[in-house]
Amino acid sequence: MVVMPSKNSLKIYADDGIYHIYNRGIEKRDIFIDQQDYKTFLYFLKEYLLKENDPLRDNRSIKGRNFERRSFYGRIELLAHCLMPNHYHLLIKQKDSNDIIEFMKCLATSYSTYFNQKYKRVGTLFQGRYKAVLVENDEYLLHLSRYIHLNPVYRGLSSAREYDFSSYQDYLGIRNTRWVDTKFIISIFDKNKEDITVKQSHYQQFVEYIEFDSKEILGEFALD
């Protein structure tokens, strides 16, 4: 039987915990309107996840991208992500119990500031504080990663692999984003190949071709 996260799993921050972080725009409004918006959110992820001295980090002052320049390298690992027009999903592993709190405060503040400046708006961008669900078993973790990567399909796209604003292309080897850790979930997937929904499939087959709907496992914690 699948162990479902309970409501009490929300906001229980544990050392070395893995969390499904998600939020949507206030009143379900779009938080990504054009490609620059998606790329800017990913830009902030990159800046916060890479080492301080990593050459890929951007240390210039860019209009609309003034933010607290911190590095959460070694504290936060991004295992999967998907950005959709009015919401986002992040699958994150933290080292210490307060790392996600600090990381998400920086990320949300930076992106909200950018968005409000660009679109000349004021006020809250997101629908309250982000949700954080503790992932407590391998089966849930695998189906959560599948659900995150299939979000574009749930929204009507024909293929998840053609969607640029998720980590799925990294899992397929189409892209190699250094601040996305694909090895952790793949190792869990390989360890669970005797599971009825995993069997002997490759990760792509697991995501795209099994008939089981992963949203049945996620229950109320799925966000389309």
Residue ranges covered by each domain of the chain: 13-221
Which CATH fold topology does 13-221 show?
Alpha-Beta Plaits (3.30.70)
Confidence of residue 5 (pLDDT cuts 50, 70, 90): very low
pLDDT above 90 for 224: no
Quick one: what percent of the chain has pLDDT higher than 90? 70
Q: What is the pLDDT of residues 104-113, one digit of tens each?
A: 999 999 999 9
Q: Mention every residue, 6+ apart, whose C-beta is less than 8 A from residue 199.
A: 193
Choose among 60, 57, 55, 215: nearest CA to 148. Answer: 215
DSSP string of 47-92, one letter each residue: HHHS-TT-TTS--S--TT--------TTTEEEEEEEEETTEEEEEE
**What is the pTM for the complete model shown?**
0.89
